Amino acid sequence: MKIRIAPLFIAALFAAVTGSAHAATQPKDPDKSQVVSVDRFSDVAGTLLRRSADATLPGPNQPINYAKQPFNTLGLSPAGKPVLYYHLDVQSTTPAPVYVLYRDGDNEPVQGQLNIIDTIPGEKGYNDFRQVWRVQVPKDYVVNTIADASTLIQSGYKRQKTDMLINMPVVPDKSYAPLRFKGGTTKLQSAWYRGLVAKFFVFDEAPLTASGDQVPTSPIYDGFTANPGQPNGGERFHMEPNTLQTHNIVGTVPGDKDYSPLWLRIVYDSAAWSSVHDLATATRAKVVPADLLLINCPIVSVKD
C-alpha cells in the first residue's frame, strides 16, 4: 500500500529539518491581536495583595489604578524627605527573560517588533524584573514573524544573555500608573506572550544591572501600628494623623549607587515609630521578627 504525503507536509518537514521553520510563519499585527488576560491578585500570583484576603482588590483582568490605595505608599528618604512609591507586591531575585530582537549588524532593536516574554503573573517563573536576552535575526527577518518564546528558541537564532534588567510588571489592559521619577513614560507598553499581546508598565527611574544573574536589593525599614505577631500586627502602616505619611524609611533613592526598587523589608519596633524619621534613626531602632519579604516598590517621586 502506498502512502501519499501531502506537498505542504513535506515543505514543513523540510523547513523544520533545515532550521528555517520560522520562515513559514505569518507575521502578526499587534494592533489586531488579542490582549492576554492578567490577574495579579489571585492566590497563586499575589503575596501581600490577594483578593482572597482583600475583596476590594480589582477582579481578574480588571484595570489597576496605582494612584489609589493600597497600591502606593508615602514614605521617607534616607534624609527624611517624603518619597512616593508604588506597591507591586513580592518578587523574586531571579529575573525572568525578555527577548529583544536585532537584525544582523544592527545596534538597535528591530523597529516595530514587540519584545517577547514567556510568563505572566501567576505562572511559574514569572517576575516583574526581566533580564534582557539579545537575539540576532537575519537581515530579511519580517517584523513580528515570531510572537512567542518557544518559536523563538526553536528558530535557532543566536541568543545572548546580557546583564541589563528591566522592571516591567505585566498588568491588565487599561491599568493606570500616572507617576514616574523625573518624567519617565507612563504609557502601557506591549510585548508578545504566546502569540497574544501582554501589557506592561516600565519603571526606569534608575538603570538596573544583574548581579550574578540576580536582581539587586535595597533595604526599607517599615513601621506598623502593631508589630508582626501581635493582634492585627504587620497589617497597617503607622501614619501621621490625618495624612498618608508613614515613617517607612527607604535605604536608597534613584541616583544612589546601590538603589534598587526590589526592597528587602525590615520591620522596626512600633514603639520606636515616633523617633524614626530618617535612615540614621531607622537603623538605630529595634528590629522585630517578621517574614522575610522582597517587594517591588519603584520610587516615583522624591521631594527635594
Q: What is the 3-state secondary structure (H, E, C) of 268-300?
A: ECHHHHHHCCCHHHHHHCCECCCCCCEEECCEE
CA distances from 34 to 76, 147, 194 (A): 41, 12, 11
> Sorting pLDDT into bands at 50, 70 and 90, what band is 73?
very high
Mean pLDDT of the region 63-87? 98
Helix H or strand E encompassing 99: strand 96-103
| pLDDT over threshold 80, residue 6 | no
Mean pLDDT of the chain: 93
Strand ranges for 147-227 from DSSP E: 158-167, 170-171, 189-193, 196-200, 203-209, 218-222
Name 214's bridge partners. 211
Mean pLDDT of the region 42-62? 98
pTM attached to this predicted model: 0.91
| pLDDT over threshold 60, residue 285 | yes
The answer to whether 25 touches 146, Cβ cutoff 8 Å, is yes
DSSP code for 113: P
Cell numbers placing 20: 528555517
Name the 3-class secondary structure at 10: helix
Q: What's the confidence (pLDDT) of residue 3? A: 36
Look at 17-21, 35-39, 215-219 and tell me which has the smallest mean pLDDT. 17-21
Closest-CA residue to 294 (of 32, 48, 30)? 48
| pLDDT over threshold 90, residue 153 | yes
Closest-CA residue to 270 (of 220, 219, 218, 233)? 233
Report how far residue 128's alpha carbon sits from residue 218's, in angstroms, rounded to the nearest whole number. Answer: 16
Q: What's the confidence (pLDDT) of residue 111? A: 98
Which residue ranges make up each domain of the chain?
A: 96-209, 218-302
The answer to whether 288 touches 228, Cβ cutoff 8 Å, is yes
Cell numbers placing 103: 537584525
Q: What's the confidence (pLDDT) of residue 25? A: 73
Q: What's the confidence (pLDDT) of residue 304? A: 82
Report how far residue 112's alpha carbon sits from residue 243's, in angstroms, rounded to the nearest whole number. Answer: 45
Helices (H), the chain: 7-17, 149-155, 279-284
Cell numbers placing 60: 481578574
| pLDDT over threshold 70, residue 2 | no
193 by Cβ neighbours in 10 Å (0-12 / 13-18 / 19+) ranks as buried
- Tell me the per-residue pLDDT of 266-282, one tens digit each, with 9 for 90 and over: 999 999 999 999 999 99
| pLDDT over threshold 80, residue 203 | yes
Look at 8-12, 165-169, 182-186 and tell me which has the smallest mean pLDDT. 8-12
The answer to whether 197 touches 30, Cβ cutoff 8 Å, is yes
Mean pLDDT of the region 212-220? 97
